[in-house]
Amino acid sequence: MSSYSLTSSELATYQNDGFCVVASLLSVDALAAVYSLLDEAKSLVARGEVSKSWQTDMTAWERDLTCDSLIVRKVPAPFEHSEQFRSIFSSPVILDRVEQLIGSEIFLHSSKLIFKPPQIGRRKPLHQDLAYWDDMQAPQITVWCAIDSATPENGCLEVIPRSHKKGLIPHADLEDWQINEHTLEDKAVCIPMNAGDVMFLDVLTIHASLANRSNCGRLAAIVNYYSEPRRSDQRSKYGSETPLRTRSLLSAKALLHD
Ligand SMILES: O=C(O)CCC(=O)C(=O)O
């Protein structure tokens, strides 16, 4: 077992409930490094100096109609754009745990920062992440990191425990690409997290995030990983062809100790 492994109780929670939260995984320095990417994005947008990749993703910023200024809600692909981000999210602290959950060959699928500005951060309705790229068959995982503390007031996640066992549920283009919430019987549970806590979330687990009604922003870093080379017939062209990890460091260490 690596010192970065999930405990047996965390593993059991993930398997049973479709998610688990590990407290204080990200250091203060890592939090500051991720925050600086949001600050950089805000300055770029304010100065009208946005890179090409940003211009192709119009969800990155938008005009706030209440005060006619530009607000950043999403920073796309930080893994591709920031060496520091890449180093945090390909470190053993994260990948040893990801390996336990999806297997030893690990590829980046996608990454983003989601910012909910004070008072105007919107609710993200209930959905399963796999519904956004449902032609991908390889085991996958979402790693959701609280960069600010996430509370019911500023937009923490809500999760329906054990919903990953239901398989993929139909999604529709309503307020968002989402499940019709009236069809769900089970209640979502709020999961407050402190800055630096990390949630490992099955891509079939139904979740949402609350609106930000507070005076504090809420920043999260979200990284998805998958565990096999992309198939040629896959529509979804997310992710990299080069693995972040090619063989099991955990099993190699285990063998050494046998
Ligand atoms: O961070 C959030 O607000 C939730 C985002 C989310 O669930 C998603 O992007 O799939």
Please report the domains of the chain, with CATH numbers, ordered by start residue.
8-229+238-257 (2.60.120.620)
CA atoms of 181 and 185, how far apart (whole Å): 9
CA atoms of 159 and 187, how far apart (whole Å): 8
Rounded to the nearest 10 degrees, how much is the dihedral formed by the CA atoms of 222, 227, 232, 238? 10
Token reading at 234: 């896959």
Average pLDDT over residues 73-84: 89
Token reading at 146: 């609280």
Average pLDDT over residues 122-149: 93
Most confident segment among 33-47, 103-117, 155-169, 226-240? 155-169
The pLDDT score that the predictor gives to residue 164 is 97
Q: Give the 3-state secondary structure of residue 230.
A: coil
| Ligand 1 centroid to residue 52 C-alpha, Å | 24
Is the predicted pLDDT of residue 58 greater than 50, yes or no? Answer: no
Is the predicted pLDDT of residue 63 greater than 60, yes or no? Answer: no
Token reading at 37: 């990417």
CA atoms of 171 and 166, how far apart (whole Å): 14
CA atoms of 161 and 18, how far apart (whole Å): 6
pLDDT band at 93 (very low <50, low <70, confident <90, very high): very high
Q: Decide: pTM greater than 0.75.
A: yes
Instruction: Report the pocket of ligand 1 as residue ranges, CB < 6 Å.
Output: 114, 124, 129, 155, 207, 209, 220, 222
Ligand 1, atom 4: nearest CA belongs to which residue?
209
Average pLDDT over residues 165-194: 95
Residue 257 burial by Cβ neighbours in a 10 Å radius (0-12, 13-18, 19+):
exposed
| Ligand 1 centroid to residue 97 C-alpha, Å | 21
